Structure formats: structure tokens, C-alpha cells
Amino acid sequence: MSPVSYSDAVCRVVEQTILRYRMIEKGDAVLAGVSGGPDSVALLYILMLLSSRWNLRIGVAHLNHCLRGAEADADADFVTQLTTHLNVPCYQERTDVRQEYQAAHKTGIEDIARQIRYKFLDRVRHQHGYHKVALGHQSNDNAESVLMFLLRGSGLSGLSGIPPVRSGYIVRPLIRVAREDIMAFLKRHNIPFRTDTSNRNTDFLRNRIRHETIPHIQTCNPKIIETLNRLSNIVRSENEWIQDITCSLYQKALTDVSDYRRTFSIPILQSYPEAALRRIFRMAIEKIRGDLKRISFSHIEATIQMTMRPLCSGILTLPDGIRIHREAAHLSIVQRQPPRKGRHRENDEVLQPLYYEIFRPVSEKMTIVAPEIGMTLQFTELSVDSEKPEVHSSETSVQMDANTLTFPLILRNIRPGDRFTPFGTAGHQKLKKYFIDHKIARSARRQCPVLLSQDRIIWLVGHRICHEARITSTTRTILKIEITSPTTNFGNPDT
């Protein structure tokens, strides 16, 4: 192993990056997250070199996720030997991420591993008095992230890529260094490292992008990594500028604040462009619950739609207990507090409250997202030109006579005693009897919503419409409703 010199080009780039983003101050204690892979090992050696120039105290943290068996154990042994050789303190832990993943069962195992790793790093930082946590993400990682978010249809935040500094203490000194330059640096100084064989597993999206998508794009643009990183830098700086403007608009529209609620003035919100509303609503939700997981573009668009309608009131229910209330001149974003312990038995299914107001479509189509039941409803009004309109109905697509309906319609959970008149029958029938007659399982009944016009059920969603709402020869306007993305089985016997 040859000594690392500051004259090495990679070292100079790293120091310039630290200065540009003010990642580290002279005299800081820096905790390096070291997996044993090439990036984190290179990072550690460069930090050790800079420690004398910057008067830094360096430590190493390593978390064994227990996902790769003997290979992961060998990584931990390698990091122990490395830190002993460099004479730096090493803080190690083992966590069975797979067990944590099975307990959580709401997100991917990669996301669980990342959450556990960041909590571990933050805990070590606090316990041992480190100012910063340095991670080994480099420019190829950033380019892959930008492309991945681009493929997912992300906004500016995703296209900004991996932030050089996050939360004020997580820093990425290698973010402007290419992977090939890091490998050349390690080879040049004969520095050993470990190879994670799971990085070649193309079952993971990032690995497919790394090993398949980017090499293919490079046949058209050999400098795609540089291009994506340039895009990331431009978008990040512009996004930060827009965010500053958004904060000012947010404060101007805000009328009331509490731990679980943000209330805004409707007239002020309606004076803003849609782009500002998207950011304001995302900002409010993130302030209330801490993140934006499971909050999709459709949820934000539904909130904007409710905001911009004249003289309306209603409720939107978003994932994880977020509800949007509009009443009079105010719009409130509310986080429903978690139920008290012991309120439900452990294996009981907790039914999420469902209540949406659907106003008459003013344009060609209108979409309502109902994540509580895993569906999206699309409403379309159609004009009838012939005397005998054609009717095409199924469990996921129904048509009704719009002139028999009174708006706004209500989409809600079923309630004890609910009745309706199924299409093709003459009398009222309890929903309970309908479910029993059609052999619908109890678990499916609970998740089946109903659509009402005033107090009358016009559609048992996923089953039948009300007889009074049927298409007849006098129908001149049809309301067509489609379940465009059903992920819930409402108990139809043939599904």
C-alpha cells in the first residue's frame, strides 16, 4: 500500500467539494459510514489525509445488516482490521434487517435497511460526540438516482438527485467524483476493499439502471453520467430558490397551526398558480407527518381540485390518516392521531374512514383517488344523441342517468342498516342481505364502499347500481364511472 498524497487529483476534488458545500469545518469530529466497499474505503483514506490539514477527529461506523450471511460477516471483519490499521475508533452493530422488514411489511427491504442504517449512524453520532456523518455516495450514484426518479415521473425534488448535505450534518464529500476515478485511486495506492456481490443483482431497480440502462444510453451519449449530474446541479439550485418563494407564499396563506393541523385561506390559495399549490400542500403534509411517503401526484391534484372549486365543501382522505377538509373559506390539512393502545385487538382489521364529495364534472373527466380502498374512480359525462343509448356496464365500469342524480355525490363506507334498490329489482334491500345472497365474504364487505346521491345509494361499488339511476330511452346525459386502478377485491364471486 503506497501512501496517499494530497497531490492526488481525487483528494483535491474532495477538498474543493467540502469547501464549496461547507460540509466540514476545521476542528470537526467526523464519523465515516464505512461498508468496506470501494467508495466508503476511499472516503475514509481521504478523510484521514485531510484530518491533519483540517484538524479533524475521524471515527468509523459499520452496520452489519445480516442480509448476506458470511459475506456480510467478512465485510465487518475487514472494517475492523482496516480501522485497527489506521488507528481510528470503530463502532459496529448487527441488525437483522430481514426480521425488521417482516415486522414492518409496509415498505421494501432496501428502504427498511436504509432507515435502520441512518438511525444507527445518528445514534453513534450523538453518543460519541461527532459533528458530521460522512457517506460515500459519488457522482455515478447521483446520476443513477436522477435517472431512476426521472423514470418514475418525479418532480424537481427527485431530479435534484442526492443532496451533498442533508439535515445539516450528513455530508457526501465524494459526490463530484466519478466511480472510475475512485477505482483508479484505490488501484494507484494499492488500497484493498470489499466487493458486495448483491450490487450485481438486477432484481433491484438501481442495479438494472447501473448495469443495463445507463450502458445502453451511453451508446447514444457517452457522457450521460456528466449530463445527468449537470442536470441535477441546475435543478437543485433552482429548486432551492423556488422553495424559498414557496415558504413565503405558504406563510401568507396560513391562518392556523397546531401539531396535527395546518389551515389555509381559500381566497389566498385560489390566487396562487397550481405549481405553488402543489408545493404548499406537499410542504404542509410533510410538516405534519414528517415525510411524503405514499402521497402521490394524484393526491395533490385532488387537493388542488377541491381548493379551486367555487363554493364547495368536502373531505378528502389520503394515506396514513391525512385528511383534507374544506369548509367555507378555509382548507385544513389534518393528521388523524393514531388509535390508543388496546383499542383494537392485534389481528383486527382497522377500517379506515372513507368520505369523499364528488362534484359534477365541469370538464371532460374528473378523477377521485381513494387510497384507503386501493382504487381510483374516473367520472365522465356523456351526451346521448340517439333515442336508444347503448349501455356497457361491468363491476368496474357503470353508466347512470345523470339527470336522476343530485350533486355532490358522496362516496363513503357502508353503514349498518344501509339499503338500496339493486338494478333489475323493484324493492329496497338491505346491503347485508345482498352480500349474503351473493356469497360475499365478511372481510370483502367491510372494504366495499357505496356511492350516494343525497341519501340514496346509487351504486354498491364493484357490484350493482340502483334501479332508479338506470339508463332509459329518455336519458340524454350519462354519468360514466370507471374504476381505473382497482387493487381491492370487493368480493365478486368470479374474481
Nine cell digits for residue 54: 483540517
φ, ψ at 94 (rounded to 5°) = -115, 135
What pLDDT digit, counting tens, does each position of 150-185 carry? 998 888 888 999 999 998 999 999 999 999 999 999
CATH, residue 90: 3.40.50.620
| Same domain assignment for residues 291 and 211 | no
Query: What percentage of the chain carries pLDDT values higher than 90?
Result: 53
Q: Which amino acid is at 473?
A: S
| Same domain assignment for residues 477 and 390 | yes
- Rg of the Cα trace of the chain? 28
| Same domain assignment for residues 374 and 323 | no
| Same domain assignment for residues 203 and 130 | yes
Are 398 and 465 within 8 A, CB to CB? yes
pLDDT score, position 199: 87
Q: State the average pLDDT over residues 15-35.
A: 96
| Same domain assignment for residues 375 and 308 | no
> Which among 314, 338, 362 is the end of a domain?
338
Query: pLDDT band at residue 390, thresholds of 50, 70 and 90?
Result: low
Could you give the number of structural domains in the chain?
3
Establish if 241 belongs to a structural domain. Answer: no
| Same domain assignment for residues 407 and 361 | yes
**Is the model more confident about 352 or about 160?**
160
Query: pLDDT band at residue 488, thresholds of 50, 70 and 90?
Result: very low
Establish if 454 belongs to a structural domain. Answer: yes
Nine cell digits for residue 200: 450485481
β-partners of residue 425 are none
| Same domain assignment for residues 290 and 185 | no
> Which among 315, 338, 361 is the end of a domain?
338
Establish if 347 belongs to a structural domain. Answer: no
pLDDT score, position 3: 65
Residue with cell 448483491: 198
**Whole-number average pLDDT of the chain:** 86
Establish if 251 belongs to a structural domain. Answer: no
pLDDT score, position 259: 78
Q: What is the DSSP string of 236-292?
A: HHHHHHHHHHHHHHHHHHEEEEETTEEEEEHHHHHTS-HHHHHHHHHHHHHHHHS--
| Same domain assignment for residues 138 and 48 | yes
Establish if 48 belongs to a structural domain. Answer: yes
| Same domain assignment for residues 329 and 361 | no
- For residue 299, the enclosing domain spans 259-338
Greatest mean pLDDT among 3-12, 305-314, 458-467 lies in 458-467
CATH, residue 284: 3.30.465.60
Q: Cα 51 vs. chain centroid, distance in angstroms?
A: 38
Q: Cα 198 vs. chain centroid, distance in angstroms?
A: 24
pTM (global) more than 0.75:
no
**Is pLDDT above 70 for 122?**
yes
β-partners of residue 479 are 381, 400
| Same domain assignment for residues 316 and 364 | no
What pLDDT digit, counting tens, does each position of 422-433 carry? 988 878 888 988
Evaluated on CA atoms 404, 406, 411, 413, the torsion sign reads negative
Q: Cα 195 vs. chain centroid, distance in angstroms?
A: 30
Establish if 15 belongs to a structural domain. Answer: yes
**Is pLDDT above 90 for 127?**
yes
Establish if 242 belongs to a structural domain. Answer: no
| Same domain assignment for residues 75 and 213 | yes
Establish if 126 belongs to a structural domain. Answer: yes
Q: State the average pLDDT over residues 243-248.
A: 92
Q: State the average pLDDT over residues 184-195.
A: 95
Q: State the average pLDDT over residues 92-113.
A: 74
**Is pLDDT above 90 for 491?**
no
Nine cell digits for residue 269: 390559495
> Which among 218, 233, 248 is the end of a domain?
233
pLDDT score, position 338: 52
Nine cell digits for residue 233: 446541479
Q: State the average pLDDT over residues 202-213.
A: 90
Query: pLDDT band at residue 343, thresholds of 50, 70 and 90?
Result: very low
Query: Cis before residue 408, ω within 30 degrees of 0?
Result: yes
Are 160 and 239 within 8 A, CB to CB? yes
pLDDT score, position 192: 96
pLDDT score, position 392: 66
Query: pLDDT band at residue 374, thresholds of 50, 70 and 90?
Result: confident
| Same domain assignment for residues 66 and 190 | yes
